[in-house]
Structure 1
Amino acid sequence: MATFFGEVLSVSSRAVEEDEDDLSENEEDEQIRRELEEKRTVQLHWSPDVSDWLKSGNKFQCSDFVLAVGHNASRFLSAHVLTSANWDVVGHASVWNERNLAGSRQTGVDSGCVFHRQKDNPSVLICQVTCYIAEDQLFQWTEKVFDCLQQRELHVTVLSDSSVSEYKTADYLCGSSTPFLRSLQSRAFTGPSACGSLEQPNIVTGLPAAVLNHCEVYHIAAVVYQCYSDVNGPDSVTMEAYKPVLAKLGKNIQWDLSPSTDVLRKFVRTTNIQSNLYI
Structure 2
Amino acid sequence: MDFEDSFASAPVRYALDDIDSDEEVETCAQNEKVTIETQLNLEDNTQWTLVFGLDGPGNVYLNSLQDVSTVSVGTVTRSLEPEKQVKASILQLADKKTLLVPFSSEVQQEEASKYTRSILDKLVGKIDKVIVLDSFTAVGYTSEVWGSDLNPPFLRVLQTSIAPKMKGLTLYETPNMIKGLSASIVNYCEIHSIACYDLLSLQESIYGKLLITTEILQAYSQGLLELGLNIQFSEQLMKDILISRHRGRVDDSHHRLYL
Does the alignment reach a TM-score above 0.5?
A: yes
**Distance in 2 (alpha carbons) for counterparts of 1:218 and 1:186:** 10
Q: Contact 1:155–1:220 (CA<8 Å) still a contact in 2?
A: yes
**Equivalent residue number for residue 221 of structure 2:** 243
Per-residue deviation, 1:238 = 1.7
Shift of residue 210, structure 1, vs aligned partner = 0.8
CA distance in 2, matches of 1:198, 1:34: 31
Question: Which is helix-richer, 1 or 2?
Answer: 1
Aligned to 1:94: 77
Q: 1:68 — aligned with what?
A: 53
CA displacement 1:77-114 (0-9 Å, x = unmatched): 23336x52x201222223368xxx9xxxxxxxx77422
1:41 matched to 2:35? The reply is: yes
- In structure 1, the residue matched to 2:231 is 255
Task: Name the SS of the counterpart of 1:177 in structure 2.
Answer: coil
| Alpha-carbon contact 2:129-2:196 (below 8 Å) kept | yes
Query: Which structure would you say has the larger Rg?
Result: 1
Which residue type is aligned with residue 78 of structure 2? Answer: V
Pair 1:114 & 2:89 matched: yes
Do the aligned residues in 2 keep the contact of 1:59 with 1:150 (CA within 8 Å)? no
2:225 is aligned with what amino acid?
A
Whether contact under 8 Å (1:74, 1:128) holds in the other structure is yes
Moved more, 191-200 or 264-273: 264-273
Distance 1:268 1:172, change over 3 A: farther
Q: 1:35 to 1:210 in 2, by over 3 A?
A: closer
Amino acid of the structure 2 residue aligned with 1:79: S
1:167/1:228 contact within 8 Å kept: no
Give the TM-score of the pair, scaled to structure 2: 0.69
Q: Is the 8 A contact 1:117 1:124 kept in 2?
A: yes
Which whole-Å CA distance do the structure 1 matches of 2:199 and 2:212 have between them?
17
Alignment pair present for 1:211 and 2:185:
yes
Q: Does 1:77 align with 2:52?
A: no
Matched residue, 1:171: 146
CA RMSD of aligned residues (A): 3.2
Q: What is the identity, as a one-letter code, of the residue corresponding to 2:146?
A: D
d(CA) in 2 for partners of 1:132, 1:146: 18
Contact 1:62–1:149, Cα closer than 8 Å, also in 2: no
Contact kept? 1:41, 1:137, Cα under 8 Å: no
Write out the 4+ residue segments of structure 1 that deviate beyond 6 Å after TM superposition: 32-35
Instruction: Report whether the alignment pairs 1:201 with 2:154.
Output: no
Unmatched segments (≥5 aa) in structure 2: 1-25, 252-259
Q: Displacement of 1:217 after TM fit?
A: 0.8
- The answer to which of 134-143 and 215-224 deviates more is 134-143
For residues 125 and 179 of structure 1, the distance between their equivalents in structure 2, rounded to whole angstroms, comes to 25
2:50–2:131 CA contact under 8 A, matched in 1: yes
**Alpha-carbon displacement from aligned partner over 1:208-228 (angstroms, at most 9, x marks no partner):** 111111111111111111112
Identity %: 17
Distance 1:152 1:40, change over 3 A: closer
Output the amino acid matched with 2:121: D
Q: CA deviation at 1:38?
A: 5.5
The count of residues paired between Structure 1 and Structure 2 equals 214
